[in-house]
Amino acid sequence: MANSATNTRSGQRATVVDPLAGLASQVPERQIVMILISVMLGMLLSAVDQTVVGTAMPRIIADLHGLKEYAWVTTSYLLASTVMVPLYGKLSDIYGRKPFYLLGMSLFLLGSALSGTSQDMTQLILYRGIQGLGAGAMMPIVLAIIGDIFPPSERGKWQGLLMAVFGFASILGPWAGGAITDSWGWRWVFYVNMPFGALALIFCLIALPSVYRKTEHVVDYWGAAILVIAAVPMLLGFSWAGNQYPWGNWHVLGCFALSVVAWLGFFYWESKAPEPIIAPSLFKSSIFSISVATSFFVSMGMFGAIMYIPLFMQAIVGDSAQRSGIMLTPMMLGFMVSSILGGQIMSRTGKYKVLTVVSLIISIFGVYLLSRLTATASNALVVKYMIVAGLGMGSLMSLFTIVVQNAFPFRLMGVVTANLQFFRSIGSTVGIAIFGSVLTSRFSHELPNKIPASVAKVLPPHALRSISNPSVLLSPAATQQLDKVFQGFGAKGLVLAHELLFGVRSALAAGTQIVFLLGAALLVMALILSLGLKEIPLRKGNGDSDEPATAQSPVASRTARGVLGVALGLAVQQNRITDPVRRRLAIQVALRLLEQYLHPEHPSLGRRSPESLPPDRLQPE
pLDDT over 70 at 149, yes or no: yes
Q: Rounded to whole angstroms, what are the CA distances from 404 to 143, 345, 401?
A: 12, 18, 6
- Name, in order, each residue with C-beta under 8 angstroms of 16's C-beta and a sequence gap of 6 or more: 2, 4, 5, 6, 7, 209, 210, 211, 212
- Residue 378's pLDDT is what? 82
Interatomic CA distance for residues 296 and 465, integer angstroms:
38
Q: Give the pLDDT of residue 470.
A: 59
The pLDDT confidence band at residue 137, using thresholds 50, 70 and 90, is confident
Does pLDDT of 491 surpass 50?
yes
Question: Model-level pTM?
Answer: 0.69
- pLDDT tier at 522, thresholds 50, 70, 90: very high
Return the pLDDT at 12.
39
**pLDDT mean over 7-30:** 52
Over residues 125-139, mean pLDDT: 86
CA–CA dist 196, 46 (Å, integer): 11
pLDDT at position 257 = 93
pLDDT band with cut points at 50, 70 and 90 for residue 549: very low
Looking at the chain, the whole-number percentage of residues with pLDDT higher than 90 is 6
Which tens digits make up the pLDDT trace of 56-114? 776 777 778 765 666 677 778 877 888 888 888 778 777 778 888 889 889 999 999 99
In this structure, the chain runs to a length of 621
Q: What pLDDT digit, counting tens, does each position of 180-210 carry?
A: 877 888 888 888 888 888 888 888 888 777 6
Please tell me the distance from the alpha carbon of residue 483 to that of residue 381, in angstroms, as a whole number: 30
> Which is higher by pLDDT, 602 or 415?
415
Distance (Å, rounded) from C-alpha 222 to C-alpha 229? 11
Query: Which whole number is the average pLDDT over 395-409?
Result: 81
Q: What domains are there in the chain, each with its CATH number?
A: 1-216 (1.20.1250.20), 221-273 (no CATH), 286-546 (1.20.1250.20), 554-617 (no CATH)
pLDDT above 60 (res 45): yes
Q: How confident is the model at residue 442 (pLDDT cuts 50, 70, 90)?
A: confident
| Chain segment 218-261, per-residue pLDDT in tens | 677 888 888 888 888 888 887 777 667 788 888 889 988 998 99
> Does residue 546 carry a pLDDT above 60?
no
Which of residues 581 and 533 earns the better pLDDT score?
533
In the 8-state DSSP scheme, what is residue 614? -
Grade residue 2 by pLDDT with cuts at 50, 70 and 90: very low
110-119, 260-269, 522-531, 546-555: least confidently modelled range? 546-555
- Reported confidence tier of residue 142, pLDDT bands at 50, 70, 90: confident
Is the pLDDT score of 9 beyond 50? no
Mean pLDDT value across residues 126-137: 88
Q: How confident is the model at residue 607 (pLDDT cuts 50, 70, 90)?
A: very low
- Name the phi and psi angles at 575, rounded to 5: 60, 30
Whether residue 231 contacts residue 256, with contact meaning beta carbons closer than 8 Å, is answered with no
Whether the Cβ atoms of residue 468 and residue 508 lie closer than 8 Å to each other:
no
